[in-house]
Chains A and B, each alone.
Chain A
Amino acid sequence: MAGVWVLVDHEAGNVRKVSVEMLTRARQLARELGQMVSAVFLGSGYERARERIARFGPDRVLISEDPVFEETVTVAQVDTLEALLKEEGPEVVMGSSVPFTKDVLSRLAARLGVGVLADVVDLNLEDGRLVGTISAFGGATTVRAALKSSPQLILVKPNSFVPEEAPSSPEERRVSATVSELGRRARVLGRVVQRAQERPAVEEAAVVVSGGRGLGGPEAFRMLEELADLLGGAVGASRAAVDAGWYPHTHQVGQTGKIVSPQLYMAIGISGAIQHRAGMQTSKTIVAVNKDPEAPIFSICDFGVVGDLFKVIPGLIEEIKRRKGA
Chain B
Amino acid sequence: MEIVVLAKRVPDTAAEKRLDPEDKTLDREGVESILNPMDEYALEEALRIKESRGGGDTVTVLLMGPDSAVGAIRKALSMGADRAVHVRDASIHGSDAMATAYVLAQALRKVPADIILAGAESTDSRTSLVPAAVAEFLGLPSLTYAKKVEVGEGVVRVHRETEVGYEECEAALPAVVSVVKGINEPRYPSFKGIMAAKSKPVEALDLASIGADASRVGLAGSRTEVLSFQPRPPRQKGEVVKDEGDGGVKLADFLQQRKFI
Contacts and interface: CB of A to CB of B under 8 A. Distances in A.
Interface of A: 73-75, 78, 99-100, 102-103, 105-107, 109-111, 113-119, 131, 135-137, 139-149, 182, 185-197, 201, 207, 231, 249-250, 252, 255-257, 259, 263-264, 274-275, 281-282, 285-287, 289, 293, 298-308, 311-320, 323-324
B247 interface: yes
Interface string B96-140: 111001100000000000000000100111111110110111011
Given A109-B133, A147-B223, 6 more contacts: A73-B142, A136-B17, A141-B229, A303-B251, A304-B239, A316-B248
B119 to A, nearest CB: 10
Nearest to A191: B167
A111 B225 CA distance: 20
Q: Which of A185, A187, A255, A320 has the most CB of B within 10 A?
A: A185
A102 B129 contact: yes
A73 B171 contact: yes
B13 A256 contact: yes
A256 B119 CA distance: 11
A306 B229 contact: no
B171 A185 contact: yes
Contacts of B128: 99, 102, 106, 118
Contacts of B120: 99
Given A73-B142, A298-B237, A305 B247 contact: yes
Contacts of A197: 163-164
Interface of B: 13-14, 16-19, 37-38, 96-98, 101-102, 120, 123-130, 132-133, 135-137, 139-145, 157, 159-172, 175, 181-182, 216, 222-232, 235, 237-243, 245-252, 254-256, 258, 260-261
Contact of B243 (A194, A249, A263, A311): A311
A139 B17 CA distance: 11
B251 A289 contact: yes
B123 A255 contact: yes
A142 B164 contact: no
Contact of B136 (A110, A257, A289, A308): A110
B253 to A, nearest CB: 9
B249 A319 contact: yes
10 contacts: A140-B16, A141-B18, A191-B166, A195-B164, A195-B165, A264-B258, A281-B232, A302-B254, A315-B246, A315-B251
A48 to B, nearest CB: 18
Contacts of A135: 232
Which 10 pairs, one residue from A and one from B, show the smallest C-beta to C-beta distance? A315-B248, A307-B243, A115-B223, A194-B165, A186-B141, A110-B136, A302-B238, A304-B240, A316-B248, A186-B171
Contacts of B250: 305
B136 A287 contact: no
A104 B22 CA distance: 33
B154 to A, nearest CB: 11
A194 B84 CA distance: 38
B127 A118 contact: yes
B251 A316 contact: yes
A185 to B, nearest CB: 4
Contacts of B181: 249, 252, 256-257
A140 B17 contact: yes
Contacts of B243: 305-308, 311-312
B97 A118 contact: yes
A264 B168 contact: no
Given A192-B166, A201-B163, A281 B235 contact: yes
Given A185-B172, A319-B252, A191 B240 contact: no
A119 B17 CA distance: 17
A297 to B, nearest CB: 10
A228 B177 CA distance: 35
Contacts of B171: 73, 185-187
